[in-house]
Amino acid sequence: MQRRTLLRAMASVSGLGLTAAAGCALLPPLPYRRAPTAQDAALWLTLESDGTIRLLLPRAEMGQGILATARALVAGEIGWPLERVVVDLPNTTRLPPTRATVGSDSIRDFAPLLIQAATDLRRQMANQGFRVGGPLPETGPIAGATAPDLVRDLVTGRATPFAGDVHLPGMVHATILPPPQLGLKPERVQDDDARRLPGVLGVVRLGHRLVLAAERRGQLDAARSRLHITWTGTPIPETAVADAVDIDRHLGMGPLDHTLRADPVSGPWDIDLRLDVPMAAHASLEPRTAVAQVHDGRAEVWTGSQDIGFVQAMVADALGLRSAQVRVQACRIGGGFGLKTVGTIERDAALAARALGRPVLLQPGRAEEFADAFHRPPSSHRIRARLGADGIAGWHHAVVSGPVIFTDAALTPLLRFATSFLADGGVSRGLELPYRSTAARMEARSVRLPVVTGPWRGLGAAPNGWAMETAIDALARHHRLDPLALRRTLLGQQQPRLLRVLEAAAAQADWQAYQATPTRALGLACGIYKAMTYVAVVAEVERTGASVHVTRLWAAQDCGRVFNPDQVRAQVEGCLAWCVGMALVENLSIANGSLSATSFADYPIPRLSDLPVMAVSLIDSTDQPGGAGEPAMVAGTAAITNAIARLTGDTVTRLPWRPTSRP
C-alpha cells in the first residue's frame, strides 16, 4: 500500500475529516469519523400508520441516558405522548455507519439534528391530520427525560438488554485465554484432556489468540485447568512500561514530537514538578461481550459496543465478507468508558462461531478481561512554571504517554508505523492552558508500549488536567496565594464560563469561610473539556492516621443548554467517582511479567464507603449543548490531591496518592 493512502486513511482516524472506506479490500478496517448530517437524521424517525413513532438513533446506550433523552426530545418537539415514541438500539442494517459513541458528543452533535428531524416530522404529521403539539421550549429541562418507565424495566429485571442476555438455539459459551505473561504467544496447544470433560468443545486457535468453548459457561473453568499450553517469547521486565514513558529520559533526548504551543520558555522557575500517572483499567462490571452466528456467507453479531460500524468492518475483514453481509445489532452496554470501541471480542466470536459451526457467546472471565483488554496508558509529565505580573510568565508542560486514539488494539502493524508520524490527539487532549500566559510551551509524545493502551474516560484530559491543576496549586503555595484567588487572577476576563463555574463551586463549598484543621481541608481545581464544557470541583478531604477519605465533593458545570439535568448530574457524579479512584486507589501495575489485576479484589474500584455526598450544580445556559460524560474528569482528581497537599504540605506528584514516609 502507498504510504500516502495510508496516511490519508489515518487522517480519518485522527479526526481530520476524511472518511475511510472500511471493508474495502485495500484498506484495513478503520473506525468511521464522519459526523452525522440532516440526511442521516431523516432516517432516525419513522412514523407508523397508527401514529407510533419509531426512533432509531445511531448512538450507544451505556448508562448516559441517551435513549431517554432522545425520546423526550422527539416527543416534546412533536407534542406527542412519550409512550407513543418507541426507541430502539441501532443496528448496521437499518442505518448507515456513523462515528462511535465517544468523546461525550452525542448531545452536541446529534440532538440538534434529531430536533430538526422531529420538526420536519411534526409538519408531515400535521399534514396527515395528526393533532400534533410542540415545539420544545427554548430553555430549561424537557419533560419526560427522566424516564421512570425505563428505570423500572431495569430495576425489576424486565429488561434483558445486554449482549450476554442474547440466547440463540445451539449457542455455546466461550472465553479468551490470554497468555500468562505479557508478550508471550501460544506455541503448542493441547486440549485433549479438557475435551474429555462433558460439554467441553476445546480451544479454537485464531492466530495468536485462543478461544476456549463449552456447551455451558460453568464448564469453562474446569476445562481451563486441563489445558496444556506452551508459550514462547520473553516476558517484559517489571519496569519496562514506566521506563518507556519516563519524561526526563525523553526530555534529555531533545524536544518531544508534537507541540501544541511552542513559545520559547526558560527558567528560572517557581515550580518544577515531575508528575506520574500509572496505568488504569476500565473495569466495567460487564466484561466485553459478543454473540456471533455465521451461516451461508453471512454473519450476525450482537454486542454492547460503542462503535458497531467499526465492529462490522472488523468482522467483515476477518471473515472475508463484504460489510453488507455482516449485521451488527447494538445491545445496551454494561459500562463502556472507552474500552468498548474496538471489535476484538466480536471478531473473535465471529471467527470462533465459524470454526465451531455454532453460535458463540464470548465473554471473558474477569481475570481474562483484565489481561486481554486495553488500558489507560501511563503518563509521565514535567511542568515548570513561573508567575509574572501579567499572569503566567513561563509555562512548560511536557508529557509522554502510551497510545490513546491510535490504540494498538485497533491498528495493524502497518498502521502502527503510519500513525507514528501523526500526533495522537488523545494523548494531548486537555493540554491547553486556560490561564493567561505570556509564554507557554506544551509538547507531547506517544510511545508504543509492551502493553496495549487506549482511550479511557476523558482520554489524555484526565491525566493532563490533573497535572496542570496540581501545578497551579503548587504555584499558589509557592507564592503563598489562595488557590481560588490565584485562579481568579489568571483567568481574568479570558475564560468567563470557566470563571463562572469556579466561583459557583467555591460558593457552594463556602470556600472563603471554610475552617481548615490539621486533619481536614478543601482543595479545588477546574478545567475545560473539548472547548465545550466547563467544570470546577471542590473536594473536602479528611485524614485519619495514615489514610485519607474524601468527605464532600461539590461540582459546578456549564455544558450549555441542558435537556436532562438529572442525567447530566448522574454523569458528573460518575466522573467524580472515577476521580476518587484515580486519586486514591487505581493502579494497574506489572508484577512478574503480568498485570497485577485479576479481580476487583486486587484492582479495587471506589465503593459506597469511599464515595462522599456530592453536590452538583449546573449553570443554566442557552449556549449550544456540550457533553457531560467525561468533562468532570479534568478537575475532580486534582481537587482531591490539592486538598491532600494542603493537609500534608507536600504536592502530590504521583497517582494514586500514598502516604509518604517522610521523617
Partner 1 sequence: MTVRLNQTNIAVPQDWLEEPLLWFLRDHAGLRATRFGCGVGVCGACVVHVDRTAMRSCQVPVRDVLGRHVVTLEGLAAGQPDGLHPVQRAWIEAAVPQCGYCQSGQIMTAAAALIQGQPPAGVRAAMDQVMCRCGTQPRIARALARLLGEG
Interface residues with ligand FES (CB under 6 A) are 63, 285, 335
Contact 524, 551 (CB under 8 A): no
- Judged by CB under 8 A, the number of residues near partner 1 is 62
Q: Among residues 406, 398, 401, which one has the least CA distance to residue 449?
A: 401
The rounded distance, in Å, linking the Cα atoms of 533 and 550 is 24
Single out the residue of 4, 127, 155, 661 in contact with partner 1 (rule: CB under 8 A). 155
Single out the residue of 105, 191, 270, 286 in contact with partner 1 (rule: CB under 8 A). 286
161 binds, among partner 1, ligand FES, none (CB under 5 to 8 A by kind): partner 1
513 binds, among partner 1, ligand FES, none (CB under 5 to 8 A by kind): none
* Amino acid present at 57: L
Write down the H helix ranges in 97-157: 106-127, 148-156
Cis (ω within 30 of 0) for the bond into 268?
yes
When asked if residue 595 is in the footprint of partner 1 (CB under 8 A), the reply is no
Cβ 365 to partner 1 shortest distance, Å: 5
Q: Among residues 516, 429, 411, which one has the least CA distance to residue 467?
A: 429
DSSP notation for 3-39: HHHHHHHHHHHTTSS----TT-TTS------PPP-HH
* Amino acid present at 150: L
When asked if residue 585 is in the footprint of partner 1 (CB under 8 A), the reply is no
The rounded distance, in Å, linking the Cα atoms of 352 and 362 is 9
Cβ 217 to partner 1 shortest distance, Å: 5
- The two most distant CA atoms of the chain are separated, in Å, by 81
The rounded distance, in Å, linking the Cα atoms of 301 and 312 is 8
Cβ 63 to ligand FES shortest distance, Å: 5
Contact 397, 304 (CB under 8 A): no
17 binds, among ligand FES, partner 1, none (CB under 5 to 8 A by kind): none
573 binds, among ligand FES, partner 1, none (CB under 5 to 8 A by kind): partner 1
- Residue 207, beta-bridge partner list: none
198 binds, among ligand FES, partner 1, none (CB under 5 to 8 A by kind): partner 1
Cβ 527 to partner 1 shortest distance, Å: 19
Contact 186, 231 (CB under 8 A): yes
Write down the H helix ranges in 337-412: 344-356, 366-372
The torsion of the CA quartet 335, 339, 342, 345, rounded to 10 degrees, works out to -70
Q: Among residues 407, 338, 309, 343, which one has the least CA distance to residue 629?
A: 338
Taking CB atoms, the residue at the shortest distance from ligand FES is 285
Among positions 157-196, residues that touch partner 1 (CB under 8 A) are 157-162, 164-165, 167
The single residue listed with the C-alpha cell 491543576 is: 469
The rounded distance, in Å, linking the Cα atoms of 642 and 646 is 6
41 binds, among ligand FES, partner 1, none (CB under 5 to 8 A by kind): none
Q: Would you say 151 or 324 has its CB closer to ligand FES?
A: 151
What lies within 8 Å, CB to CB, of 254 at 6+ separation is: none
Cβ 659 to ligand FES shortest distance, Å: 30
Q: Would you say 293 or 571 has its CB closer to ligand FES?
A: 571
Question: Which stretch, 310-318, 442-450, 567-575, 642-650, contacts partner 1 (CB under 8 A)?
Answer: 567-575
When asked if residue 566 is in the footprint of partner 1 (CB under 8 A), the reply is yes
The rounded distance, in Å, linking the Cα atoms of 399 and 248 is 10
Cβ 287 to partner 1 shortest distance, Å: 8
Q: Would you say 183 or 365 has its CB closer to ligand FES?
A: 365
When asked if residue 143 is in the footprint of partner 1 (CB under 8 A), the reply is no
62 binds, among ligand FES, partner 1, none (CB under 5 to 8 A by kind): partner 1
Q: Would you say 130 or 162 has its CB closer to ligand FES?
A: 162
The rounded distance, in Å, linking the Cα atoms of 589 and 138 is 49
Q: Would you say 363 or 419 has its CB closer to partner 1?
A: 363
Cell of 631: 468533562
Q: Among residues 620, 456, 623, 464, which one has the least CA distance to residue 529?
A: 464
When asked if residue 570 is in the footprint of partner 1 (CB under 8 A), the reply is yes
Among positions 56-85, residues that touch partner 1 (CB under 8 A) are 62-65
Question: Which stretch, 23-31, 84-92, 283-291, 461-469, contacts partner 1 (CB under 8 A)?
Answer: 283-291
Q: Would you say 113 or 283 has its CB closer to ligand FES?
A: 283
Q: Would you say 560 or 606 has its CB closer to ligand FES?
A: 606
Q: Would you say 304 or 626 has its CB closer to ligand FES?
A: 304
Single out the residue of 344, 363, 380, 453 in contact with partner 1 (rule: CB under 8 A). 363
439 binds, among partner 1, ligand FES, none (CB under 5 to 8 A by kind): none
Cell of 93: 442494517
The rounded distance, in Å, linking the Cα atoms of 556 and 635 is 10
Cβ 197 to partner 1 shortest distance, Å: 12
Per-residue mark of binding to partner 1, 319-338 (x: CB under 8 A): -------------xxxxxx-
Q: Would you say 219 or 419 has its CB closer to partner 1?
A: 219
Among positions 602-661, residues that touch partner 1 (CB under 8 A) are 605-614
Cβ 280 to ligand FES shortest distance, Å: 16
3-state SS, 467-522, equals: HHHHHHHHHHHHCCCCHHHHHHHHHCCCCHHHHHHHHHHHHHHCCCCCCCECCEEE
Single out the residue of 69, 101, 146, 651 in contact with partner 1 (rule: CB under 8 A). 146
The rounded distance, in Å, linking the Cα atoms of 315 and 481 is 57
164 binds, among ligand FES, partner 1, none (CB under 5 to 8 A by kind): partner 1
Cis (ω within 30 of 0) for the bond into 463?
no
Q: Among residues 281, 231, 177, which one has the least CA distance to residue 589?
A: 281
Chain positions contacting partner 1, by CB under 8 A: 62-65, 146, 148, 151-152, 154-162, 164-165, 167, 198, 216-219, 221, 282-287, 332-337, 363, 365-366, 566, 570, 573-578, 599-601, 605-614
